Amino acid sequence: WANRREKLLQEVIYLNADVICLQDVDNYDEFWQPHLNSAGYDSLFKARTSKIRVRSEGVLVAWHRDLFQLVRSEPVEFNELVEPLHHTDPKLAMLAVQDNVALMAHLMPWQDSVNPSALCVVSTHFCDEVAREDVRREQARFLAQAVEVFNGDFQVPCRAAPCRAVPRRAAPCRA
């Protein structure tokens, strides 16, 4: 895994992306945060929850600090969708405990930016079990609702293009 991390870091730095989203990130504090920081990125990390087993990996959002500033962020824990599912589909609710998470961030360009629009960036790790499309669909629905609430401060009318991009009903997810 250490070799994989090093190669992935080299690729990320080579690509010089303005914003980076990674899943299955481990060793954030010891490896990713200091290396990304020295490459000019600020970053956030959300570890997976540990209801099934103790985990250290999670999701990451990083951005070039000379291009963007963080306005706010909010984690999403998909185990929270279990409680509402208990009322409609108890079997699916039991299967939905997967310890998956997401991380939402509002990034704002600095005032001298040629593109002054704010961004909502989301890094997520849905259930990766092939046979659990039903769980992924519920996780996508839960995340879409969380993003809609999170973006409430943007004051975008629902007829605007960014709002229309958020699905009102979940489409089938493909692995």
Chain centroid offset of residue 113 CA: 25
Please write the tens of the pLDDT for every residue from 81-102: 888 888 888 888 888 888 999 9
Q: How many residues make up the chain in this entry? A: 175
At 153, the pLDDT band (50, 70, 90 cuts) reads low
Q: Is the pTM of this model over 0.85?
A: no
DSSP E strands in the chain: the ranges are 19-25, 41-47, 58-64, 68-77, 101-109, 119-124
Please write the tens of the pLDDT for every residue from 44-84: 999 998 877 777 899 999 999 999 999 999 999 999 988 88
Buried b (16+ CB within 10 A) or exposed e, 33-67: bebbeeeebbbbbbbbbeeeeeeebbbbbbbbeee
